[in-house]
Amino acid sequence: MTAGDLPVTTGNPDQGFEGFRFVGWNLYDALINWDLSKSDTASDIKPGLATEWHIDPANHKRWIFTLRQGVKWHDGCDFSADDVIWNFQRISDPKAPQFFTQQFALSRAYLTNFDSIEKIDDHSVAITTKFVESLFPYDMSYVLMISRCRAQALNYDWTAYANQPSGTGPYRFAGMTAHERMELVPNNDYWDKARVPKQDRLVLLPTPEAATRTAALLSGQVNFIEAPAPDAIPVLKRANMQIVSNVYPHNWPYILNFTRGPFTDLRVRQAANYAINRDDVVDLVGGMATPQYAEVPPSLPYYGHPVIYKFDKAKARALLKEANCLPCKVTLAISTSGSGQMQSLPMNELVKQQLEDAGFEVTLNVMDWNALLDVSRSGVPKYPNVDGMNASRGLLDPVSAIIKPVATAYWSPAGSNWGHFGTPEADGLVKQIFEEFEPEKRLALLTRLHEYESEQALMIFVVHDLNPRALSPKVHGFVQAQNWFQDLTPITVDP
d(CA 392, CA 234): 25
* CA contacts within 13 A on the Cβ side of 139: 25
Give the model confidence (pLDDT) of 219-239 as tens digits. Answer: 999 999 998 988 899 999 999
Residue 252 pairs with which residues in a beta bridge? 463
Mean pLDDT, range 338-359, rounded to an integer: 92
- Amino acid 436: pLDDT: 97
- Provide the percentage of residues in the chain whose pLDDT is more than 90: 89
Q: Residue 396 above 90 pLDDT?
A: no
Band (207; pLDDT cuts 50, 70, 90): very high
- Amino acid 343: pLDDT: 85
- Amino acid 337: pLDDT: 84
- Amino acid 154: pLDDT: 98
CA distances from residue 96 to 85, 91, 248 in whole angstroms, order as listed: 11, 9, 39
- Provide the percentage of residues in the chain whose pLDDT is more than 70: 100
- Amino acid 231: pLDDT: 87
- Amino acid 388: pLDDT: 98
Residues 6+ apart with CB under 8 A from 399: 133, 135, 138, 139
Band (370; pLDDT cuts 50, 70, 90): confident
- Amino acid 406: pLDDT: 97
Residue 78 pairs with which residues in a beta bridge? 72
- Amino acid 256: pLDDT: 98
Give the model confidence (pLDDT) of 7-29 as tens digits. Answer: 999 999 998 889 999 999 999 99
- Rg for the chain, CA atoms, rounded: 22
Q: Are 191 and 168 in contact (CB under 8 A)?
A: yes
- Amino acid 229: pLDDT: 85
Q: Name which of 363, 357, 361, 362 is nearest 327 in CA terms.
A: 361
Count other C-beta atoms under 10 Å from residue 99's C-beta.
15
- Amino acid 183: pLDDT: 98
- Amino acid 398: pLDDT: 94
Strands 360-367 and 202-204: unpaired
Count other C-beta atoms under 10 Å from residue 94's C-beta.
8
- Amino acid 340: pLDDT: 77
Q: Are 427 and 291 in contact (CB under 8 A)?
A: no
d(CA 481, CA 21): 12
- Amino acid 467: pLDDT: 86
Q: Are 140 and 31 in contact (CB under 8 A)?
A: yes
d(CA 12, CA 91): 10
- Amino acid 41: pLDDT: 87
Strands 144-145 and 29-30: antiparallel
Angle (CA) 393-411-459 rounded to 5° is 40
- Amino acid 333: pLDDT: 97
Count other C-beta atoms under 10 Å from residue 24's C-beta.
27
Band (338; pLDDT cuts 50, 70, 90): confident
Give the model confidence (pLDDT) of 85-122 as tens digits. Answer: 999 999 999 999 999 999 999 999 899 999 999 999 99
Mean pLDDT, range 128-137, rounded to an integer: 97
Q: Residue 165 above 80 pLDDT?
A: yes
Angle (CA) 399-411-454 rounded to 5° is 55
Task: Specify the pTM.
Answer: 0.87
Mean pLDDT of the chain: 95
